[in-house]
Amino acid sequence: MKAASFDYLRPASVREACEALSSHEDARLIAGGQTLVPMMAMRLARPSLLIDIARIQELQFIEFAGETLKMGACTRQVEAERSDIVLKYLPLLARALPFVGHAPTRNRGTLGGSVANADPAAEIPLVLVTLGGFVRFQSADHSGTIAAAEFFEGPMMTSLNQESCLTGLDFPVWAEGRLGTGFCEVSARQSDFAYVSAAAQVALDPEGRIMRCAVGVGGALPVPTFMAGVAAALKGEMPSQQRIRGVARAAVEDLEIMVDSHASSDYRRRVAALFIEQAILQACKDAQTVSGLAA
């Protein structure tokens, strides 16, 4: 099929884009277009106006600012994947990015586009939630931030209103301890949408105890989810596979796991527990073999 007819606008600034959004009820933003364009081709999306923000320079950057790594919404995924700054200050994202789609889609896809699309299986939103990041937005009359945990409301649903433009992402940077990361996912084929995924980041003290731990699960739940109980249970402990396995299994017992034509809830629950365990163990091993994060 072909897309239904639409008007096209390429604004020169975020303000111009926001003004166009507020004045057209059926307008949609497009940056990389790796999700929206196929939806339009199948006529699952029929915007009357397409607002192309891909070339707005103020939305394309990666910068380290104090305790935060800031990225513009239109920063392409491949740029983050190849960034030395991301590798140094945000190793969990660096580990997850190769799982995002395929190389051709990462060449076009943007960081902000993935977050705004709010696919429960998407890797970038999972990293953002796991690390307690924030989403920056702007509308015609104000701007602000939303905690990632509050941004995602359901599959393909966010708390961002129709008249606002997602402008950037803020990822907290960990500076303490020996840092390690882990990431696991399963899909029908490599780089397809994940049925279940898990991300973990740990900081170990000089004795090897877990000073800090962050774990998130994607794919199995309607939104990427930070596993607060896992982080709290393991803080201050020496890494132990038996202990981590018990904490992981307990963490998924009461979750309302999704079911669809691809995987049952029982399967997703078992895999989620396994991946939480594996991601944490991978992160701990990683932390034991690398020097601490340089501030």
Tell me: do 194 and 283 sit in the same domain: yes
Count of structural domains within the chain = 3
Average pLDDT over residues 223-233: 96
Asked, for residue 119, whether it belongs to a domain, the answer is: yes
Higher pLDDT, 38 or 89: 89
pLDDT at residue number 295:
35
pLDDT at residue number 290:
67
Asked, for residue 1, whether it belongs to a domain, the answer is: no
Asked, for residue 166, whether it belongs to a domain, the answer is: yes
Tell me: do 166 and 225 sit in the same domain: no
**CA 205, chain centre distance (Å):** 27
Tell me: do 194 and 241 sit in the same domain: yes
Integer angstrom CA distances of residue 91 from 161, 269, 275 = 31, 27, 18
Asked, for residue 135, whether it belongs to a domain, the answer is: yes
Higher pLDDT, 291 or 35: 35
Asked, for residue 225, whether it belongs to a domain, the answer is: yes
Tell me: do 70 and 168 sit in the same domain: yes
Average pLDDT over residues 66-89: 96
Tell me: do 163 and 184 sit in the same domain: no
pLDDT at residue 174 tops 80: yes
Tell me: do 156 and 255 sit in the same domain: no
Tell me: do 132 and 187 sit in the same domain: no
Tell me: do 142 and 199 sit in the same domain: no
Tell me: do 145 and 124 sit in the same domain: yes
Asked, for residue 2, whether it belongs to a domain, the answer is: no
CATH number, position 40:
3.30.43.10
Tell me: do 89 and 150 sit in the same domain: yes
Closest CA to 39 of 83, 70, 1: 1
Average pLDDT over residues 4-29: 89
pLDDT at residue number 292:
44
CATH number, position 95:
3.30.465.10
Q: Which domain holds residue 241?
A: 178-289
Last residue of a domain, one of 137, 172, 207: 172
pLDDT at residue 216 tops 50: yes
How does pLDDT run across 248-275, given as a tens digit for each residue? 999 999 899 999 888 999 999 999 999 9
How does pLDDT run across 120-173, given as a tens digit for each residue? 999 999 999 999 999 999 998 889 999 999 999 999 999 998 889 999 999 999
Last residue of a domain, one of 132, 157, 172: 172
Last residue of a domain, one of 123, 154, 172: 172
Average pLDDT over residues 13-29: 89
Tell me: do 145 and 246 sit in the same domain: no
> What is the average pLDDT score of the chain?
92
CATH number, position 235:
3.30.390.50
Tell me: do 75 and 41 sit in the same domain: no
Asked, for residue 192, whether it belongs to a domain, the answer is: yes
Query: Which of the 8 DSSP states describes residue 98?
Result: G
40 pLDDT band, cuts 50/70/90, is confident
Asked, for residue 295, whether it belongs to a domain, the answer is: no
Q: What is the pTM of this model?
A: 0.93
